[in-house]
Amino acid sequence: MEKPVEDVDTVSSARGRHVQGSVPQDSWMKRVFGFEKRDLTSWEHLVCLLNRPTDPAALGTFRFLFGLLMAVDITQERGLSHLDYKYLDGAPVCRFPLFNFLEPLPLDWMYLVYVVMFLGAVGIMMGCFYRFSCFMFVSCYWYVFFLDKTAWNNHSYLYGLIGFQLTLMDANRYWSIDGLWNAKKKNAHVPLWNYTIIRAQIFIVYFFAGIKKLDSDWVGGYSMQYLAHHWLFDPFKLILPVEMVNLLVVHGGGLILDLTAGYLLFFDATRPFAMVFVSYFHCMNSQLFSIGMFAYTMLATSPLFCYPDWPRRFFGGFPAALRAVLPPTEPAPQSSASCVYRETPPSTADGQRSPSDSRPLKPGRRHKFATLFTLLYLAEQLFLPYSHFITQGYNNWTNGLYGYSWDMMVHSRSHQHVKITYRDGKTGDIGYLNPGVFTQSRRWKDHGDMLKQYATCLSRNLVHYNVTDPQIFFDIWVSINERFQQRIFDPRVDIVTADWSPFRPNPWLMPLLVDLSPWRTKFQEIEGSLDNQTEVVFIADFPGLHLENYVSKDLGNTSVQVLQGQLSVEIVEENTNYTLLPGDQMKLPAGAYHKVYTVSDQPSCYMYIYVNTTEAALQKNFTKLFELQERIRNGTETEPVPPELQPLVSVAEGKDPGVNVTDPVLRIFLRRQQRMQDVKKHREAPLIERLHRFTVKKYYMIRRSFLMTAIAMRNLMVGLPPLEQLTQEVAYANMKEPQITPDEPLKEEGGHLEL
Report which secondary-structure segment, H or E, holds 413.
Answer: strand 413-423
Q: H or E element: which one contains 410?
A: none
Contact call for residues 316 and 331 (beta carbons, < 8 A): no
Helix axes 57-75, 107-126, angle to 10 degrees: 160
Determine the 3-state secondary structure of 339 from DSSP.
coil
Instruction: Label residues 164-187 b or e (16+ Cβ within 10 Å = b).
Output: bbbbbbbbbbbbbebbeeeeebbb
Query: Is residue 213 annotated as a catalytic residue, yes or no?
Result: yes
| Gap between the Cα atoms of 175 and 189, Å rounded | 13
Q: CB neighbours of 701 closer than 8 A, spacing ≥ 6?
A: 75, 76, 81
Choose, from 213, 368, 595, 681, the residue flagged as catalytic: 213
Q: In the 8-state DSSP scheme, what is residue 753?
A: G
Q: How many CB atoms lie within 10 A of CB 42?
A: 10
Is 402 in contact with 448 (CB distance < 8 Å)? no
Q: How far apart are CA 284 and CA 249, in angstroms?
A: 12
- Provide CB contacts within 8 A for 751, sequence distance 6+: 668, 671
CA-based R_g, the chain, Å:
32
What residue type is 202 in one-letter code? I
Contact by Cβ (8 Å): 527, 536 = yes
Q: From CA 113, how far away is CA 719, in angstroms rounded?
A: 18
Which own/partner contact pairs does 293-298 have at CB distance under 8 Å and 24+ positions apart?
293/69, 293/70, 293/72, 293/73, 293/76, 293/77, 294/155, 294/158, 296/69, 297/66, 297/69, 297/155, 297/158, 297/159, 297/162, 298/202, 298/205
> Which residues are the active-site residues?
213
